[in-house]
Amino acid sequence: MTSGGLLRAVAGTAILGGLGLPVLLGLGHGIAAAFGHFPAIGAHGPDLRPWRELLEMPGLGRAVLLALWTGMAATGLSFLLATGTLAALHGRGAARGLRRVLAPLLAAPHAAIAIGLAFVLAPSGWIARALAPLLGWARPPDIATTGDPLGLALILGLTAKELPFLLLMFSAALTRIPVGAQMAAGRALGYGRTAVWLWVLLPQFWPQIRLPVMVVLAFSVSVVDMALILGPSAPPTLPVMIARLSSDPDLQALLPASAGGVLQLVLLAGTFAAAAVLARIAGAAGRAFLRRGHRLRGTGRTLALLPAASAGIVLMAFLALAALLVWSAAFSWRWPELFPAQLTWRHWLDAGRWGWPAGASALIALASTGLALAAAVAWLESADRLGRRGRDRWLAAAIHVPLLLPQLSFLTGLSGLMIRAPLPPLAAVIWGHWLFVFPYLMIALKGPWEAADPRLECSAAALGAGSWRRLWRVKLPVLLAPLLTAAAVGFAVSVAQYLPTLFLGGGRIETLTTEAVALASGSDRRVAAVHAVLQALLPWGAFLAALAVPAILHRERRGLGGAA
């Protein structure tokens, strides 16, 4: 077997056996339980009772609509704003600065942003306190600005997290389209900027970004941690309802919970279909407009609203992070004070409280990212050696499976399976994180890897370097910046994981995220803030390192410096 074949066999086995198979097994267990088969709790199906019980849950209809509405609205809004912002900023040299500005938001886990945003938006929060003297409010207004029945705060929170992610994915995708030339051609034919973006660039752009948009949609429709903190409560969104059912004292509730997991799956498939139909309609409508000769001149001003709205959301997210910092050092900070009357370091000095979770978060993130990086490099390199680059569509599909399924739908089953074949909790959690770290890392790395100039490797081969030497001495150094960026993405994904830590660690592994979400339920906002700040700082440090290390190592090679 050639070295490429061997590498491929090892990597393929790891990816299929470690990722594809367990996810399918977990899913299978969940589906069986949804149809009444869960011998562990004395249920022997098939039986439709779990579905009847689920459908009888009060507020189920509204919970379903809420999940669909908040998830789709957040995805649509993020998509619109990301596209509009890039359209407005493109060619103005802002893309690189954009990445640096967005790094803290990309790095900050959903839970951290949600905890900060909950305070910024609350009726007694920062915005309301700033407005109180102007509007004469003696007491906080009795208006639902978080946990509102329409889920607007949740949509805003999701958008604050997904917009930076989509901006990053889109700006990477845009580099593969000759935007400047096509824009010039379009403008020369008398079309406005908006028209060129909508009808020329977007159709080329969409196939490349479809997958990240679907991932955002899947995440947003099934999110639990953010919906717990910012979402409505009576009823909550469907995923929160299912998560609650899963922890109901009456263990028979696991059956309707499993049915809920399957329902989530069906709903998600429905939203995917809706998104595909919407894209087709948009395409057809665009062509119809085009045929009628619309040129959309003078719409540039409308287009400028989108970056302004994006800036507003980004500003709000930064306010959320600032609020976390201030809260972590507050003793008491009550209405209507704009700044705490009494500061204290005691929550930070209590390192025994946050030291272990922080260490666990860092260890799990390093381990899962290291494993994912090794697997990704092995797979990509083997494809190069076998000359199969870019032909593994099934792999692209397989690695997206964990990202495109609602987490609850297969994690419950997985944790059930784990009891029969117990792994040490730490190993189980690292593996559980790897399920999500590997796909994101792969997405971040695949493009730059395949875009690397093949002539470098050809030259090295012509000079007599063997395949391993070419990998170590040419490819990996040249790809250092994207490798580290991908690793930082993986690290951030790991630090943010909530349900895998909880389900696979059996509650025995405490990370910053499980602690922050537990504390966000209201016990002490100051200690929650300390955890959330650390939760945001860890991945931010990883992103800074990903920018700084290549810049320092390659300081004399301009073409390689931190240009990931």
Helices 3-15 and 393-404 pack at an angle, to 10 degrees, of 20
Among 2, 13, 175, 332, binds other proteins (CB under 8 A): 332
Site string for other proteins, 193-232 (x = CB under 8 A): -----------------------------------x---x
Amino acid at 183: M
Q: Which stretch binds other proteins (CB under 8 A): 13-21, 36-44, 198-206, 556-564?
A: 36-44
Q: Does 246 bind other proteins (CB under 8 A)?
A: yes
Compute the radius of gyration of the chain from its Cα atoms: 24
* Residue in 234, 315, 423, 456 binding other proteins, rule: CB under 8 A: 234
* Residue 349 touches other proteins, criterion: CB under 8 A: no
* Span from 10-18, 186-194, 287-295, 514-522 in contact with other proteins (CB under 8 A): 514-522
Which residue number, 206 or 335, has a Cβ lying nearer to other proteins? 335
Which is nearer to other proteins, 225 or 392 (by Cβ)?
225
* Shortest distance (Å) from residue 416 CB to other proteins: 6
Q: Is 7 helix (H, G, I), strand (E, B) or coil?
A: helix
DSSP 8-state secondary structure symbol assigned to residue 16: I
Q: Which of 55, 342, 459, 469 binds other proteins (CB under 8 A)?
A: 342
Footprint on residues 39-68 left by other proteins (CB under 8 A):
39-41, 58-59, 62
Dihedral sign for Cα atoms in the order 437, 440, 444, 446: positive
307: CB partners within 8 A, 6+ apart: 84, 85, 88, 89
Residue 527 touching other proteins (CB under 8 A): yes
Which of 44, 419, 455, 462 is in the footprint of other proteins by CB under 8 A?
Answer: 419
What angle separates helix 95-107 from helix 525-553, to the nearest 10 degrees? Answer: 140
Closest CA to 25 of 502, 417, 396, 503: 417
Distance of CA 384 to the CA centre of its chain: 29
Q: Is 525 in the site for other proteins (CB under 8 A)?
A: yes
Stretch that binds other proteins, among 96-104, 152-160, 333-341, 469-477 (CB under 8 A): 333-341
Give the DSSP letter of residue 523: T
DSSP class per residue in 282-349: HHHHHHHHHHTT---TT-HHHHHHHHHHHHHHHHHHHHHHHHHHHHHTEEE--TT-SS-SEE--HHHH
Q: Which residues from 119-178 bind other proteins, rule CB under 8 A?
A: 122-124, 139-140, 142, 144, 147, 149
Residue 58 is encoded by which pair of tokens?
């009060």
Binding mask 452-491 for other proteins (x = CB under 8 A): ----------------------------------------
Instruction: In whole angstroms, give the CA distance from residue 249 to residue 356.
Output: 29
Residue 506 within binding range of other proteins, rule CB under 8 A: yes
Closest among 312, 316, 264 to 114, alpha carbons compared: 316
What are the residues binding other proteins (CB under 8 A)?
A: 38-41, 58-59, 62, 122-124, 139-140, 142, 144, 147, 149, 228, 232-235, 244, 246-251, 254, 330-332, 334-336, 342, 344, 415-416, 419-420, 506-508, 510, 515, 517-519, 521-527
